[in-house]
Each structure stands twice: as structure tokens, then as C-alpha cells.
């Protein structure tokens, strides 16, 4: 009898440490954020009492928020879409046998392994107008004869930040797709070639369907990462000038830790993960439906 109860309880003992860890450091913070978003919070972070949706209305009515939300969407969509397309093409290329393939693969690991703050500092230095190496390089090569201001506007800064985001995201896509590509049985292609299928036909009718699962994994994870990405923007512009390069995460960081508006920052957090949750459920519904077919 005792043995039986132990058997039933056993799995829960095994997962208990993990549950405790995640409960304290993820679940409790989530609860706090939700509570704070619905409360009046003092500058020191003390919850003063229920205030309904006051924080949300304050956030939504501020002119900065609309800009920030737009930036976040542009940032996420541009980085995820472009890095997925470029990463996919790169994976197709790396899937060929050629000399130096191992070296090429090793080099492409670099941006993935490097911490984003350092990546971003390097790019900030490269594009600097006065002493950046991009200008130096182009001047030395004789391509330009006067230093170019690469970041004349906030929009230009934001574009460079997106470029930096794409740069660091490509390797992840490439390696995910590559692992999918390498698990495809070559006999499919041999059969298709015998049947006279062109390269493009093979790409769309054999390759794409078979790597779609690795592509979905990388895309879903990238949407989450890029949406929540903080260091690139923080290092290059800190969201300046006047919120023109802010995304939700840099905006909420400033609200909470610079302006002492923790309640509003919590509201921005809640809005942020509501958006992600909608994206995730769309994805879930889509994949579940595909599973049914």
C-alpha cells in the first residue's frame, strides 16, 4: 500500500526541484507584474492599492507608446523575416559539399556565441561618422572621398540596429535549417532528378516541406527572442532620441528604473506578453491543425 502511494507520488518528486526553481523566479515575478499593472505603485516599488486599468490607460494614451509599439513591430518583423530568409539561403549554400565548409561553419558560429552587448558596441564603433572603421575602410579603398554620416536621423539609427539584429540572428536560423537539411534522405533528390524535376521544383516540393519543422522552431523562438531583445538597442541608442528607437522592452526599462513609473512599466510588460501570447497561440492552432491532416 505504501509502495503504491510512493509510485504515484514519485514523478512529482522528480519534477519538484525544477518546479520550485521556476515558481520562485519566474511564476512569482509574473504574478507581481500582473498585480503591479493593476495597482498604484510608489516610486520605490511599493504597491499602494488596486487602481483598475489606470496604468493601462495612461500608457495607451501617451504619444510615446504608439511610437514604441510601432517600432517594436517593425523591429520584430524586419529582423525575423529578413534573418529567416537570409539564414535559409545560407543554409542551402552550406549544405553543398565544398572545400573549407568546416571553416565557414565555424566562422558563422561567431555572432551566435558573442554576447549582444559586445556585438552592438562593435557595430556602434564601426558606423561612427568621425572615427568609425566603415568610413576609414571606404576612404582607404577610395570608394568615397569624404566621411559619410551613416546615422543622420533616428530612422537611420534604427535601421542599423535592425541590421545588427539580423546579423546576430542569421546563424541560429542557418544552423537550425542546416540540421533539417542534413537529415533529408538524398534518394528523394535522386528520384526527382531521374524524373526530370528542376532545381526549383526540388526546392519547393522536397526541401521546403521537409525542413518546415526546423524552420518553424527557429521562427517561433526568434519571434520571442527578437521581440524581447534589449542589449542591441540599449547599447547603440538607449532608445533615444525621444523614444524614436525604443521598443517595448527598452521603454519599460526606462519607465521602471529611470522614471520610477513601475505601475506603467508593469502594464507595458503585460501588453508585451499578451502580444506574444497571441502570436504563440496562432502558431499552436496552426501546428495542431497541420497535425490533424
Partner 1 sequence: MTKKPGSLKKLILRILLYAVIFVVCIITLYPYFAMFCTALKSRAEIFSMEGTILPITSLWSNFLDIWHRAPMANYLFNSLLIAGGSTIIAMLCGIPAAYALARMKFKGQTIFLGFVIVSQMFAPVVLLIGIYKVMSILSLTDSIIGLVFINAAFNQAFTIWLLRGTFIGISVEMEQAATIDGCNRIQGMTKVLLPVAAPGIVTTLIFIFINAWNEYTVALCLISTSEREPLTVGINIFNGYNMIEWQYLFAASLFAIVPVVILFMGIEKNLVSGLASGGVKG
Its sign, for the CA torsion 62, 67, 69, 72, is negative
For residue 221, how many C-alpha atoms fall within 13 Å in the half-sphere facing its CB?
11
Q: Which is nearer to partner 1, 222 or 243 (CB)?
A: 222
- Beta carbons within 8 Å of 284's beta carbon, 6+ residues apart: none
Cβ 15 to partner 1 shortest distance, Å: 5
C-alpha span between 276 and 36 (Å, rounded): 20
CB 246 within 8 A of CB 63: no
- CB-count burial class (<10 Å; 0-12, 13-18, 19+) for 147: middle
CB 206 within 8 A of CB 245: no
Instruction: For residue 67, give the C-alpha cell.
Output: 511610437
For residue 262, how many C-alpha atoms fall within 13 Å in the half-sphere facing its CB?
16
Secondary element (H or E) of residue 39:
strand 39-41
Give one word for 148, left, alpha or beta, with left for phi > 0 and alpha for psi -120 to 50.
Answer: beta
Q: Which is nearer to partner 1, 78 or 268 (CB)?
A: 268
CB 223 within 8 A of CB 80: yes
Amino acid at each position: 500500500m505504501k509502495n503504491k502511494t510512493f509510485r504515484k507520488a514519485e514523478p512529482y518528486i522528480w519534477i519538484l526541484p525544477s518546479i520550485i526553481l521556476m515558481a520562485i523566479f519566474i511564476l512569482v515575478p509574473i504574478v507581481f507584474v500582473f498585480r503591479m499593472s493593476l495597482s498604484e505603485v510608489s516610486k520605490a516599488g511599493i504597491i499602494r492599492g488596486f487602481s483598475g486599468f489606470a496604468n493601462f490607460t495612461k500608457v495607451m494614451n501617451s504619444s510615446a507608446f504608439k511610437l514604441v509599439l510601432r517600432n517594436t513591430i517593425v523591429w520584430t518583423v524586419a529582423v525575423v523575416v529578413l534573418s529567416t530568409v537570409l539564414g535559409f539561403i545560407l543554409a542551402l549554400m552550406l549544405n553543398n559539399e565544398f572545400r573549407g565548409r568546416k571553416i565557414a561553419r565555424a566562422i558563422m558560429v561567431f555572432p551566435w556565441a558573442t554576447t549582444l552587448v559586445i556585438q552592438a558596441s562593435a557595430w556602434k564603433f564601426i558606423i561612427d561618422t568621425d572615427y568609425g572603421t566603415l568610413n576609414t575602410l571606404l576612404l582607404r579603398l577610395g570608394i568615397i572621398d569624404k566621411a559619410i554620416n551613416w546615422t543622420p536621423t533616428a530612422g537611420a539609427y534604427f535601421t542599423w540596429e535592425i541590421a545588427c539584429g539580423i546579423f546576430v540572428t542569421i546563424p541560429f536560423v542557418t544552423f537550425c535549417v542546416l540540421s533539417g537539411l542534413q537529415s533529408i534522405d538524398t534518394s528523394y533528390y535522386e528520384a526527382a532528378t531521374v524524373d526530370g524535376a528542376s532545381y526549383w521544383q526540388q526546392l519547393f516540393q522536397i526541401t521546403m516541406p521537409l525542413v518546415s519543422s526546423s524552420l518553424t522552431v527557429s521562427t517561433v523562438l526568434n519571434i520571442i527572442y527578437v521581440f524581447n531583445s534589449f542589449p542591441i538597442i540599449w547599447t547603440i541608442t538607449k532608445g533615444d532620441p525621444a523614444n524614436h528607437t525604443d521598443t517595448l522592452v527598452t521603454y519599460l526599462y526606462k519607465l521602471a528604473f529611470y522614471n520610477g513609473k513601475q505601475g506603467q512599466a508593469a502594464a507595458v510588460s503585460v501588453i508585451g506578453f499578451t502580444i506574444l501570447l497571441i502570436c504563440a497561440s496562432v502558431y499552436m492552432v496552426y501546428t495542431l491543425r497541420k497535425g490533424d491532416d
